[in-house]
Structure 1
Amino acid sequence: MVRLHKPFLGPLDLTFSQYLVTLELFNGAPLTVGELCIRLDMETGTMTPLLKRLEAAGVVTRTRDASDERRVLIDLSAHGRGMEEDLRSIPNKIRVACQLNVDELEELRRTLDGIGRPAAES
């Protein structure tokens, strides 16, 4: 799946992991680092450098929560918000590239989710 996304993410200078973070932020920002880790099933040690790179690229902002300085809030920058249309169009581009209809794409997504989740968690 990562390889399928690469031609669409390359021109936007995003990795697949950065794409997933950005999509999650489109669905409700700002989010804490911890919330992003939970939603994307990533460790903080993986998430923090990824967010620093997104911040350096001008896609997100990272600010300390005024009510709790231990928490870092992640939000989309104006540049990041401007990428929404391009990023939200990628799933359809993948569907077309794979020659799948919407039902087949949903079945693929369910299959991949099942593979990614250990049997003990099901």
Structure 2
Amino acid sequence: MAVMERFQEIIKEGTLPKDMGGASLPAQAKYDFLAAYHSMEQLTAVIESLEKRKKKRATFKGKIVDTCKKSLAKLTESDISSSKDMEKAIEVLEACKKELASIEAEEAADKAIAKLVADGVSAGR
């Protein structure tokens, strides 16, 4: 955040800080600082969004797993003596698998986005 605040100050003042020469910024340089500042804002928003989704997904995944375990426990406690009963158990497992696969796909996509952001930030150094 210190970098963003420094960029904001440079844009507001229209001059470079004294430790950077203190020169007045030409219009193009001011525009470049503003563009860089907005890029940093966008990256910060993406990172915050990824973190929020990660937390929500972890909570949701835990609830899904618990619900699936409870459903399977109920099915195994009952008498599974027919193919229809077995089909019910398989349907529960398939539904659980589908939900978990969906969550895992979202996790993979978010990891890919986070890697792109990190690669983009480190490429600018």
TM category (shorter chain) comes to: under 0.3
Q: Which has the larger radius of gyration?
A: 2
Question: TM-score with structure 1 length normalisation?
Answer: 0.27
Q: Which structure shows the bigger proportion of residues in strand conformation? A: 1
TM-score by length of 2: 0.26
The structure with the greater share of residues assigned to helix is 2
